[in-house]
Amino acid sequence: MPHRNAPLTETGRLRLARCVVEDGWPLRRAAERFQVSPTTAQRWAERYRRFGEAGMSDLSSRPRTSPHRTPTHTERRIIKVRILRRWGPARIAHLLRLVPSTVHRVLTRYGLARLTHLDRATGRIIRRYERGRPGELVHVDIKELGNIPDGGGHKALGRQAGRKTRSGTG
């Protein structure tokens, strides 16, 4: 997606294509005017001829096919080892003679959680602190740091009065 000041936003592409197709501008002149290469100007003019205004929007860069994708049989083996043995990508890759990045990509694609997010005994995902409303569960850690005498210590009474209440002194 281009930024709004780019020479060829969808509106700029449409203006470029209309100059070439409808107004009959030479490609070089139109390319110079819109600060793009003649090849780019030709590309947008051809898209305008074929698809009209609808052809000026960005197309998906996703490939139509993935000929080098990991075969389904291999993906199933990876998932089976992960579920049965609860191994990480490196150990699974060594066992199946694959690359660890490929194993990790397959595990991510199928949404298998990290091993640290699983309960070791059951293999289920651990969900912590799921509450219906925010603030419903309040967790307070308390650590006793010292004996605070009745009536308060030096912070409440001041340094001199606080010393009198210390244990071991009168």
Query: How do residues 131-141 score in pLDDT, each as one tens digit?
Result: 778 777 777 77
Q: Do 79 and 43 belong together in one domain?
A: no
Residue 78 is predicted with a pLDDT of 96
Is 18 contained in some domain? yes
Q: Say yes or no to pLDDT of 166 above 60.
A: no
Which of 81-85, 147-151, 152-156 has the highest average model confidence (pLDDT)? 81-85
Residue 159 is predicted with a pLDDT of 76
108 is written with which tokens?
A: 């991510």
- Phi, psi at 12, each rounded to 5°: -65, -40
Query: How do residues 14-64 score in pLDDT, each as one tens digit?
Result: 999 999 999 999 999 999 999 999 999 999 999 999 999 999 988 888 888
Q: Do 19 and 49 belong together in one domain?
A: yes
Asked if 110 and 79 touch (Cβ cutoff 8 Å), the reply is yes
pLDDT band at 143 (very low <50, low <70, confident <90, very high): confident
Other beta carbons within 10 angstroms of residue 11's beta carbon come to 10
Domain that holds residue 83: 72-117
Is 35 contained in some domain? yes
Is 67 contained in some domain? no
How many domains are contained in the chain? 3
Is 66 contained in some domain? no
Q: Say yes or no to pLDDT of 79 above 90.
A: yes
Is 60 contained in some domain? no
Is 50 contained in some domain? yes
Q: Say yes or no to pLDDT of 168 above 60.
A: no
Is 92 contained in some domain? yes
Once rounded to an integer, what is the mean pLDDT over residues 84-88? Answer: 89
- 3-class secondary-structure state, position 119: coil
134 is written with which tokens?
A: 């925010």
